[in-house]
Each structure stands twice: as structure tokens, then as C-alpha cells.
Amino acid sequence: MTAGLPDRATLIILRTVPNTLVECVPNFSEGRDASKVDSIVEAMKVPGVYLLDREMDADHNRCVITLAGEREAIQEAAIRGAGKAAELIDLTRHQGAHPRMGAADVIPFIPIEGVTLEDCVAMARHVGAEMWKRFQLPVYLYEAAATTPERQNLENIRRGQFEGIRDEIAINPARKPDFGEPCVHPTAGVTAVGARRPLIAYNVYLNTPDVAIAKKIAKAVRFSSGGLRYVKGAGFLVRGMAQVSMNLTDFEQTPIHRVFEFVKREAQRYGVAPVSSEIVGLIPKLALEQAAEWFLQVENFDSSLILENRLAAVMSGKVTVGGLSAGIAPFIEQLAAPTATPGGGSAAAAAGAMAAGLASMVASMSRGKKAYLQYESQLSEAVARITPLREQLTSAIDADAESYKEVMKAYRAAKEAKEPGEGSRAITAALQQATSVPLGVAERAAEVARIANQLKPITNPNMNSDLITAIALAGAALEGALANVTINLNSINPASINLFSSEDGAFVSETQKRVALLKEQA
């Protein structure tokens, strides 16, 4: 929740996409001294990491940096950035409208390509441990990486801000950090490191300077006080205007257009109106597509109708012009080749992606038709839920093959190691990744099957065969992915891995619970 100033600088454009792509959006408690921000950005220049966006806000005294890169490189960039911020920013002298608790206030990791949310959780834990080890910065894990339910919500961790945490951290057990001793860094405070899905920082400006109105609207819109799900909100006075500042933590469930309309209606109660809105940082293309569909009321809208989307799909080989079989044939040939990858895990992901594609097609073709107008909102919601599932399952085709290669690489490195036990940690990490990818496939395939079943009574019955096919494909994806999970999970045990920590045991236990739940649901 940060207001942006007109000094946005997109410095590097991605020309190629790595096998694994992670977004990281660190927020630093400095929005007035450009030289300090320059130094922090410079510290984060690591090969394989790209600077996508940089924003500073003097009123909030905060900056938001958007990075994207390969999973190993972006972790190092975040660690270095936090260290440089601790060196330059003194919270005992810091004042600004935005709540803060650390020089590097929050560092979230977001999965983009070839990685899962679970992978980002592991990344957050690694970064947290390294920040304490290198710079003595206490770290709390939040959102998906949280170690307790109370810490999933960042507001709970940040309560009291720097000064409040400083006074309580040593005497209140609930304030004990996940990494580090129970004491704040004298000038850099503490940091929250987490994993989450893409978030939209969205602000609406009102035609009044009365910040009390913005605060009332924020209270009405945020979920914690009875408003919209997946919305956090607060009211501020920025540049002489009342601002409703919001974070949309799941824009697919609560889309940005719905939030804007809600704020607009609430504002009318107080005799005011929005004059503008702004995006802080970057926004997923899908969110804008949803807004365009909503406000333009385009009949039978689908993202493939967008010229750039179709062009990108054709150029990447996902859509072909010379016949349907031309697109799938190379993948089938690779499956048939006498090589370990791609294998059953990739095939399971492909089956899940096809299931999602069929379900989306059925929902889209019924949506907008007179006979199904009563189900319009349900069909739109189904399409919104299926689209990211299809994209994630498609990404998992390559991610599964890559995870297997990493396991083989780790085993080879261990054989060449000079010291006994050297390389065991890398084997464990690679096996956990190779387990997490098919587990994510299984969970997404189960969700696709549920959505396809829900579509049966509200879509054209002539397309029932398509839904039956989708459900069968999703079932095959679920069963195949779980088989891969089991094989890899059995390799993570004290007998096969020399270094078996409590964290490894927790990973095995948590994975087994999720597998059991999937089997029960199936």
C-alpha cells in the first residue's frame, strides 16, 4: 500500500525467460533520498536478476523495487539489498505515513514461471536465515511462508511498528522472530520475508482532503472489518487528497474492477467521488483483461482474443497455424524418446492443462448465452479460476523435467565430493523441489476436476462430453502426479540422506498430509 510518484523507471526489459522465474518486490523504508535508493538497487545487481520497476514516495517515505530473475540469483539479490538498507537507513530517525518496522520492511517472493508457491516458501526461509547470519537482521516469515496462522497476516507482525516491536520483542514470546535473537537491529529493525501470489497495490484518490472519509471507506472495503475478501485497506492524506490505499492479495478472487466499484459506491455515501486511481509497482496482465471484460461488457471474451496474447502463443509454439497436431507432436515425440525427461510428471501436468483448457472452453461458450444468463457470474468466476490453473499446469510441464535434472545433478556432485556427506544437503533440496512440483500439479488438477463438475448443471448439455473428458484428464493428472510425489518423497529419508534435519522431517510430514487430503477428496 504505497502511493507512487512520477519517477518510475523501468530499467531493464526481459528479452528471454529463464527456466525458473521468480518475482521479488522488496519494500524499503526510504522514499526521499534517491542516492540511498540508488545504492540499494546497485547492491541488488546480481547476474540473472532483472530490475523491472522502481518507485519512491516521499509522503509514505517508502520505495518499492520490483525484481524478476532465476530462483538462486534473486535470493542473493534480496539478501544483499536488505544488508545495504540496514547500512543506510536509520529507523530511529525515520518518519512517514506508511507503517514500517524495518529498513528492509517486507521481502515477498512470487512464483512466475517454472516454480511453485511452495518453492517460494523455501526461498523465503533461506533468505531469512541468511539475513540473520550475515547482517544480524531478525526476520519474521509471513503469508504462505508463515510458521503460525497468526503470522500469515502481515498486519499482525507489524503491529506497533518499529518502536512497539522494539519494546516487546524480548518480553513477549509471540514476538519472537523466526530467525534471530529476540531483539531488533538497533537502527534497521526487523524484516518480514514471505511467499505469496501476485499482489496488486492499488490506490484510489478522492476529490476531498478529508482523510477521515478515506479511512471510513478503507474500513468498509477491507476484509478484516467485514469488506471484500482478499483486500487490505487504509486511508491516507497524499498530495493534498484523501487516498484509499489498498492491497489486493488475490485479484482472481476479488478483481480490481470490483474493488473500484465498491470504493466508488462507498464514496457516494459521503458526497465525494474518485478522481483517479493508480497502480503501485506492476500489475498482472490478466487483471487488466478482467477489468476490460467487465467495463466493456465484451461478449464471450477470452484472453486469446487479444492480438499480443495470440501472437505470443503462436511464436512460442503453444498455438499453431498449420493444424492442431503440429503443436502437440513434438511433445509426444519427446515423451516417446529413450530419455528420462520429459516423463510421467510432465505428462501429468500436460493432462491437467488440457483438462483446464476444456473446462474453460465449455464455460466460455455458455457464458453470455440467453439460456445461461442466470449463471453468468458463476461462469465468469469459473473462467477466472481456471485460467491461472491452466497456465500453472502448462508451466509445470517443463518444471517437472527441470526438477529431475537438478536431482541427477545433485547426485553426481555428491559422488564427486571429496568429504563424506558433502552434497547431501543439495540432494535433499533437489528432492524436495522434485516432490513439490508434482504435488502442485496434483492439487491444481483436483481443483480443475472440481470446477468441471460444478460446470455440468450450468452449461450447455451438448458439451457434457467435453466436461467428462476434462474430468478424466484431471483424474489422470492427479493420479500420475501423486505417483511422482510418492517416489520422490520416499527418497527423502534418514537412510538415503546423510543430513536429515527437523526441517526435512517437517517437509515430509506436511507433504504426506497434503497427499492424504488429495486422496480423500478424490
Contact predicate 9/54, CB 8 Å: yes
Most confident option among 412-426, 436-450, 504-518: 436-450
> Are both 46 and 90 inside the same structural domain?
yes
Most confident option among 14-23, 356-365, 403-412: 356-365
The pLDDT tens digits of the residues spanning 222-257 come to 998 999 988 999 999 998 999 999 999 888 889 999
Structural domain count of the chain? 3
> Are both 221 and 235 inside the same structural domain?
yes
Overall average pLDDT of the 87-92 stretch: 95
Peptide bond into 342 cis (omega under 30): yes
Q: Is 257 a catalytic residue?
A: no
Please tell me the pTM assigned to this model.
0.54
Judged by DSSP in three states, 195 sits in strand
> Are both 178 and 211 inside the same structural domain?
no
pLDDT of 264 higher than 50: yes
The pLDDT tens digits of the residues spanning 104-124 come to 999 999 988 778 888 899 999
**pLDDT attached to residue 341:** 83
Active-site option among 94, 98, 126, 185: 98
**pLDDT attached to residue 418:** 65
Q: Which amino acid is located at 219 in the chain?
A: K
Task: Let me know the angle formed at the C-alpha of 371 by 365 and 377, rounded to the nearest 5 degrees.
Answer: 65
**Confidence band for 16, pLDDT divided at 50, 70 and 90:** very low
Closest CA to 86 of 194, 192, 187: 187
Overall average pLDDT of the 475-499 stretch: 78
> Are both 190 and 101 inside the same structural domain?
yes
SS3 content of the chain, % helix, strand, coil (to 5): 55, 15, 30
> Are both 358 and 458 inside the same structural domain?
yes
Note down the domain range covering 115. Answer: 1-197
For residue 315, CA distances in Å to 49, 259, 321, 325, 344 come to 24, 35, 10, 16, 26
Task: Let me know the angle formed at the C-alpha of 387 by 385 and 391, rounded to the nearest 5 degrees.
Answer: 125
> Are both 224 and 362 inside the same structural domain?
no
> Are both 191 and 202 inside the same structural domain?
no
Closest CA to 213 of 277, 260, 266: 266
**pLDDT attached to residue 2:** 43
The pLDDT tens digits of the residues spanning 392-435 come to 898 889 888 888 888 888 888 877 766 656 667 778 888 888 89
* Region of poorest pLDDT, from 99-103, 172-176, 340-344: 340-344
> Are both 134 and 242 inside the same structural domain?
no
Residue 322 inside a domain? The answer is: no
How would DSSP label each residue in 281-319? Answer: S---HHHHHHHHHHHHT-TT--GGGSHHHHHHHHHHTSS
**pLDDT attached to residue 10:** 36
